[in-house]
Amino acid sequence: MVNETQHTCSASSSSKSDGGSSSGSESSKESSRCSTPVLDAERHERLREKMRRRQDSGDRWFSLEFFPPRTANAAVNLISRFDRMGAGGPLFIDVTWHPAGDPGSDKETSSMIIANTAVNYCGLETILHMTCCNQTKDDITGHLQKAKRLGLKNIMALRGDPVGEEWEEEVDGFNYAVDLVKHIRNEFDDYFDICVAGYPKGHPEAESYEADLKHLKEKVLAGADFIITQLFFQSETFLKFMKDCQAIGITCPIIPGIFPIQGYHSLRQLVKLSKLEVPQEIKDVIEPIKDNDAAIRNYGVELAVSMCRELLDSGMVHGLHFYTLNREVATTEVLKRLGIWKEDPRRPLPWAVSAHPKRRVEDVRPIFWASRPKSYIYRTQEWDDFPNGRWGNSSSPAFGELKDYYLFYLKSKSPREELLKMWGEELTGEESVFEVFTCYITGEPNKNGHRVTCMPWNDDPLATETNLLKEQLEKVNRRGILTINSQPNINGKPSTDPIVGWGPSGGYVFQKAYLEFFTSSEIVTALLKVLKKYELRVNYHIVNVKGQNITNAPDLQPNAVTWGIFPGREIIQPTVVDPVSFLSWKDEAFALWIEQWAKLYEEESPSRMIIQYIHDNYYLVNLVDNDFPLENCLWQVVDDTFELLN
Amino acid sequence: MVNETQHTCSASSSSKSDGGSSSGSESSKESSRCSTPVLDAERHERLREKMRRRQDSGDRWFSLEFFPPRTANAAVNLISRFDRMGAGGPLFIDVTWHPAGDPGSDKETSSMIIANTAVNYCGLETILHMTCCNQTKDDITGHLQKAKRLGLKNIMALRGDPVGEEWEEEVDGFNYAVDLVKHIRNEFDDYFDICVAGYPKGHPEAESYEADLKHLKEKVLAGADFIITQLFFQSETFLKFMKDCQAIGITCPIIPGIFPIQGYHSLRQLVKLSKLEVPQEIKDVIEPIKDNDAAIRNYGVELAVSMCRELLDSGMVHGLHFYTLNREVATTEVLKRLGIWKEDPRRPLPWAVSAHPKRRVEDVRPIFWASRPKSYIYRTQEWDDFPNGRWGNSSSPAFGELKDYYLFYLKSKSPREELLKMWGEELTGEESVFEVFTCYITGEPNKNGHRVTCMPWNDDPLATETNLLKEQLEKVNRRGILTINSQPNINGKPSTDPIVGWGPSGGYVFQKAYLEFFTSSEIVTALLKVLKKYELRVNYHIVNVKGQNITNAPDLQPNAVTWGIFPGREIIQPTVVDPVSFLSWKDEAFALWIEQWAKLYEEESPSRMIIQYIHDNYYLVNLVDNDFPLENCLWQVVDDTFELLN
């Protein structure tokens, strides 16, 4: 029942600090129109609003804590873990603050950069921890400004561990977490959601449990939005704590911190650090099996599952926070057993969205980066607004250069030796390249018995959707049509379809058939003759590394190739073939031949020269069959081309 | 073959005069994105560009000249004629300037306002004539500024007839059309396309034919873009003129003015005014039949057709300009016989677009005004930007009030007596209102033998598309579901479909079923119970005149109900059901009961009280069936409702 129609556009949020002054919102005629994306309400909500909505609707949720890795390689692995564990549907993740690890720096292993990657490249709602003791006000403001600039919206405000053994209050310094909370609210108004820590057994340094509760209440009064607790071993510990909090008037959400025991040593270390005591009955079980990792982990999972069930059954708990120790197995197992791991995460859009506030409205992307979404996000990170509803004709999409191919979140997960086994220790000609592409498509081992599980343009095995085209793809790759991207045509499948579905249920999704490949100039010449017959049906763009570009796209307009129709919503068209962006993608696609493949071989080696030859002489081609209700004609186009060549 | 990708956003055009300074275009990151509509390239072109494109592609075209009417009623009729003749696809129309008729005023019969209506409400590319002699520079600048403000983009620059018999040059005044051309270019730069008049036999006041050609060349050199000629009676006259123009270096388009003889007296008068001589062979035919209008018109059509054929066959003529004398039959007949009248004008969008430059990008409208597009244009005329690609959530669509129901372009074409015959001289109860609605749907005469060809919400007979639903509509109207708007569901029909098609060929169009009606609160109560069963499938908005509003639309989002998929283009979704706009439409829809219907009757009369009762107590309901690939369930919803009531 709606009687009033008050909607506000929340495109600009104001803040007191951070230099950039956002202009006051005007409600003149000019600014009366605004577009907001529509598929995923959560995308527009602050974390505290998401939490409230989940609580109101009775949904149970979980969140995951990670710490920053120590090496760049470990960072690459952690980011793959973000992607995998992100698929289970955490409400947020958080990244701890390691004062010893230069946490606010631009190093690929810093807390700041890991959190940045989680938000921007993995699309995860993220809380960045931040400690305050032994730091100047300016340092802290600087960190917060940087976090804001990177698109981080949530801070876990902590005191941090004092450096020396004996700790003394600094006059006018940041002595307690509450000082940090106040500082954030003073300097950044309501920009950040703030989380603070709660101690179900009382902070080890607190005068008493009651005194500690009072400190907690002070933190909430100072502006904290919710509380995550220290780990504990028994559900009663948490439930008592929660009731005590409520009794003194703490009404914000309190999220229990869950620690699935994963090994004897990690438990001992954590207990030492947190000054907690492990209950005797747990010790009794663990001590006898302390050398059997698997047994301890199984026990830990069992214990966590039953404690979580008690918490959830109490009716007082809606969300669970997991201390993962950067490991996947135990936490995932607990979540699956609890039934709160999303087995079939609904995709709000066909591509993974970024959680940067600037990108909230983004709902259209060129199809070219479908297998390299992180690269797309990186190359568009400087954009100030993102296409919404329609890609539009772009005069200069201004894609950032992708010069540093070893940006850690774009780095191949496979080491050089692995890549050589997949792509050939020694190439003997263009045909051996064809074979690599073919093996990637078929999933069959290559002639040396290795499976090709990634390609320079695809860091992952073939998408399920692409499997629909496997047979035809195999055939054409064998003959030198080296495919790097494709999608089948879809004429109105339910949005819940497990393979091609996306968006809310009750809708229908559509696609135009798409095929993108590298191929020789000889094949291109024949292809162009064949395409004349398909002039009204097939749009094409054909370009070589020098930028010579042949197309029949009308007025360089973008062509929507994926769209969805949903109940009560406007049409969503998340991927387009945009002729202008294609020229930016072309640079990246050609460069990957050299950067990822040719450079595996010695300079001047025959293998390297083969890849260099392909790079210099092949064309990158994309084809769209506009007649989506009919059978995909692109295979016929390719067949006709080969026929013409014979 | 495209090697460069230079596109510019032409959203803002700069001018030297006219007060409003448009900011210089910046090519920063922020402004690097722009949306341009994509369906109809001509919508973005200036008249001279359209002309050039037609000439380059070998298309033949026509244009139509009208003069401003003398009475408001005649204006209403002229505007219907614009709509009807506009359907034949003229490249432009032009409206003459009548110095005696206060041509620049806001009167509904002024040249300025008629041209404004043609551009904004009929969507026609329009040239406004303007004369300059005996006017001050300030007056002329004022007229030009006003024309620009109203969205007029083309001026026919004329000297005009001097007031007295003897004419003398004014020092520093506007003595010739060339002075006006120069003035326009000086004050408005390149904003207007400028047309000038050419005299195939030389201007009657010119010293000589050769001297007149020189004057014409001066006008072109001063900045005129093309030439329309005075009427003539023989194709050789024009072809010689054209060659003579080319010989002295006039290269712009020269469009022959065609005058189909429509009657003896109009011919005599025109000849007198233009000081032309009618060739003897024409006189010989006409004089004997001068009292037989039909015979003269037939001869005139014959003559015009053969002359036009000669012109077109010469290869020198691509477009023909018709002096219509505000009449339809003869010109239409000539155009049809020449094969340049578009029998099946392709609709670029399902609704008639406006030709105002501000509205160039407009490609989404709420469905509510489908039968009252002029009202929609009127109520949104103050908007500074128009939705493009997506309607978006609008905080305050700021629709203008529609207080003056007798704005001449919204006035019913039927007089009061006619309306009373259709809608009932005397109403006996709500049922007699039901009967009027039913007769409008069926096309059957009412009980007094009159056909109901319009309704307060629909000034025209039922749309062809609505005919698809006729049987069901009849059934529900009989029972008090008083429908005012509806569309069937369409699951991918070719864009060339004669009934539901729109947009360029090769595409597919889609619709969600829509039904909008007034009904009693008793029926609404039952309907709401029934709708619970259809909660996930049917979106509804139900509102009464006081604004009590019941809806299940998620977050007041708009629902796209018409969309099209085209080769090489983004998705177009031209109509939406927007919950916010619905409340503005509601005011208009309810007011029409009173303004158009109730007020036909005496105050306090039973008939008037019946309409007033409906206005006060009925609800306006709209329903959308989101499941467009399935059979329309809205009839089932209505059936279920009646079943529940029984």
Task: Provide the terminal-to-terminal Cα distance of chain B, rounded to the nearest Å.
Answer: 69
Q: What proportion of chain A, given as a percentage, has pLDDT over 70?
A: 90
Residue B16 pLDDT: 37
Q: Which residues 283-312 in chain A show a CB within 8 A of chain B?
A: none
Cα angle value B104/B108/B114 (rounded, 5°): 65
Provide the pLDDT for residue B41.
63
Question: pLDDT tier at A24 (50, 70, 90 boundaries)?
Answer: very low
Residues of A in contact with B571 (CB under 8 A): 390, 560, 563, 571, 573
Whether residue A105 contacts residue A112, with contact meaning beta carbons closer than 8 Å, is answered with yes
Enter the CATH code of domain A41-163+172-338: 3.20.20.220
- Establish if B164 touches chain A: CB-CB under 8 angstroms: no
CB contact under 8 A, B1 and A628: no
The pLDDT value given to residue A22: 35
H or E stretch covering A333? helix A329-338
pLDDT for residue B31: 31
DSSP string, B97-140: --GGG-TTSSSTTSHHHHHHHHHHTT---EEEEEE-TT--HHHH
Distance from CA of A597 to the nearest CA of B (A): 28
Q: Mean pLDDT, chain A, as a whole number?
A: 88
Question: What is the spatial order of strands in the sheet that B508-511 belongs to?
Answer: B365-366, B572-577, B559-565, B508-511, B490-494
Query: Does B233 reach chain A within 8 Å, measured CB to CB?
Result: no
Beta bridge partners of B255: B228
**pLDDT tens digit sequence for A361-375:** 899 999 999 989 889
Neighbours of A345 (CB within 10 A): 11
Residue among A7, A397, A559 whose CB faces B32 most closely: A397
What pLDDT, on the 0 to 100 scale, is given for residue A463? 80
Residue B327 burial by Cβ neighbours in a 10 Å radius (0-12, 13-18, 19+) = middle
- What pLDDT, on a 0 to 100 scale, did the predictor assign at position A582? 95
- Closest by Cα among B229, B230, B147, B227 to B192: B147
Does B583 reach chain A within 8 Å, measured CB to CB? yes
CB contact under 8 Å between B392 and A35, yes or no, is yes
**B6·A395 Cβ contact <8 A:** yes
C-alpha to C-alpha distance for B493 and B511, rounded to whole angstroms = 10
Supply the pLDDT for residue B186.
Answer: 96
Chain B, residues 369-388, CB within 8 A of chain A, namely: 382-385, 387-388
Domain ranges of chain B: 41-163+172-338, 365-645
CA dihedral (B292, B298, B302, B308) in degrees, to 10, reads 100
Q: What pLDDT, on a 0 to 100 scale, did the predictor assign at position A407?
A: 72
Contact A394 B32 (CB under 8 A): yes
Q: Which of B26, B49, B65, B310 is catalytic?
A: B65
Q: Which two tokens stand for residue A19?
A: 């230099």
Does A584 have pLDDT greater than 80?
Answer: yes
Instruction: Give the closest residue to B541 by CA, choosing from B574, B611, B589.
Output: B589
- Quote the strand ranges of A17-77, DSSP E: 61-66
- Say what the pLDDT of residue B401 is: 83
pLDDT for A41 equals 63
Q: Which residues of chain B fall short of a pLDDT of 70?
A: 1-42, 162-171, 344-346, 394-397, 405-406
Tell me which residues of chain A, numbers 489 to 518, contact chain B at a CB-CB cutoff of 8 Å: 491-492, 506, 508, 510
Cβ-defined contact of B29 to A384 (cutoff 8 Å): yes
Active site residue A65: yes
CB–CB contact B567 A384 (8 Å): no
Could you give the angle at the alpha carbon of A489 between the alpha carbons of A485 and A493, nearest 5°? 120
**Reduced 3-state DSSP string for A376-434:** HHHHCCCCCCCCECECCCECCCCCCCCCCCCCCCCCCCCCHHHHHHHHCCCCCCHHHHH
Question: What's the pTM value of the predicted model, to 2 decimals?
Answer: 0.85
Report pLDDT for B72. Answer: 86
For residues A557 and B38, give the distance between their C-alpha atoms in angstroms, rounded to a whole number: 8
Q: Could you say which residues from 445 to 474 on chain A have a Cβ atom under 8 Å away from some Cβ of chain B? A: none
pLDDT of A530: 97
Sequence-distant (6+) residues with CB within 8 A of B233 are B276, B278, B279, B282, B307
Spatial CB neighbours of B431, under 8 Å, sequence gap ≥ 6:
none
Q: How confident is the model at residue A9 (pLDDT cuts 50, 70, 90)?
A: very low
pLDDT digits (tens, 9 = 90+) for B10-21: 333 333 333 333
**pLDDT value at residue A277:** 87
Which of B38, B547, B557 faces A557 most closely, judged by CB atoms?
B38
Per-residue confidence (pLDDT) for residue B415, from 0 to 100: 87
* Angle, helices B177-188/B209-221, rounded to nearest 10 degrees: 10
Whether B560 sits inside 8 A of A565 (CB atoms) is: yes
* Alpha-carbon gap, residue A556 to B38, rounded angstroms: 10
Which of B25, B393, B576 to mutate to test binding with chain A, by most A CBs within 10 Å of its CB?
Answer: B393
The predicted pLDDT at position B406 comes to 67
Contact flag B580-A5 (C-beta cutoff 8 Å)? yes
Among B32, B389, B568, the residue with its CB nearest the CB of A396 is B32
| Selected residue of A390, A497, A578 to mutate for chain B interface (largest B Cβ count, 10 A) | A390
Q: Write out the two tokens for B125.
A: 């590319």
Q: Of B228, B226, B227, B202, whose CA–CA distance to B213 is shortest?
A: B202
pLDDT at A426: 94
Residue B36 forms contact with A (CB below 8 Å): yes
Q: How confident is the model at residue B395, as a pLDDT?
A: 54
Cβ within 8 Å, pair A32-B506: no
In contact, B130 and B69? CB cutoff 8 Å: no
Whether residue B556 and residue A5 make contact (CB cut-off 8 A), yes or no, is: yes
Which residues in chain A have Cβ-Cβ distances shorter than 8 Å to B536? 506, 567
Edge-first strand order for the sheet with A513-519 is: A482-487, A513-519, A619-625, A538-544, A549-551
Other CB atoms within 10 Å distance of the CB of residue A615: 18
How far, in Å, CA of A446 to CA of A549, rounded? 34
Query: Tens digit of pLDDT for each residue in A467-486?
Result: 778 899 999 999 999 999 99
Amino acid in the structure at residue B518: F
DSSP class of A597: I
For B562, list phi and psi in degrees, rounded to 5: -140, 130
pLDDT reading at A247 higher than 70: yes
pLDDT band at residue A276 under the 50/70/90 scheme: confident
Greater confidence (B356 vs A636) lies with: A636
CA distance A554 to chain B (A): 7
- Nearest-CA distance from A197 to chain B in Å? 35
User: What are the structure tokens assigned to A54, written together?
Assistant: 């989940």
State residue B349's pLDDT score: 87
| A61, two tokens | 């949720």
* A-contacting residues in B 4-23 (Cβ below 8 Å): 5-9
Q: List chain A residues with CB under 8 Å of B550.
A: 1-2
pLDDT band, residue A162 (cuts 50/70/90): low
Minimal-distance CA residue of chain A relative to B33: A394
Task: Note the pLDDT of residue A16.
Answer: 36
Cβ–Cβ < 8 Å for A281, A346: no
CB burial readout B615-629, b (16+ within 10 A) else e: beebbbbbbbbbbbe
Spell out the residues 6+ positions from residue A7 whose beta carbon is closer than 8 angstroms to its own. B393, B394, B395, B556, B580
Q: Do B555 and A41 touch (CB under 8 A)?
A: yes
Banded model confidence at residue A43, pLDDT cuts 50, 70, 90: confident
For residue range A405-436, what is the model confidence (pLDDT) as tens digits?
667 777 777 889 999 999 999 999 999 999 99
**For residue A313, is pLDDT > 70?**
yes
- Does the CB of B392 have a partner CB in chain A at under 8 Å? yes
- Looking at chain B from residue 550 to 569, which residues have their Cβ under 8 Å from any Cβ of chain A? 550-560, 563, 565-569
- B432/A12: higher pLDDT: B432
If residue A285 lies in a helix (H) or strand (E), which one and from where to where?
helix A280-286
Report the pLDDT value the prediction gives residue B28, as an integer from 0 to 100.
33
Cβ-defined contact of B626 to A568 (cutoff 8 Å): yes
Set of chain A residues whose Cβ sits within 8 Å of the Cβ of B579: 2, 5
CA-atom Rg of chain B in angstroms: 27
B160: tokens are 């005009």
Angle at which helices B606-617 and B430-442 cross, to 10°: 80
pLDDT single digits (tens) A182-238: 999 999 999 999 999 999 999 888 889 999 999 999 999 999 999 999 999 999 999
Question: What count of Cα atoms within 13 Å lies in the side-chain half-sphere of residue B340?
Answer: 23
Which of B8, B539, B573 lies nearest to residue A570, judging by beta carbons?
B573
pLDDT at A318: 95
Kindly provide the ipTM of the predicted complex, given to two decimals: 0.83
* Amino acid at site B637: V
Q: How far is CA B432 from CA A557, B456, B475, B482, B610, in A?
A: 54, 16, 15, 12, 10
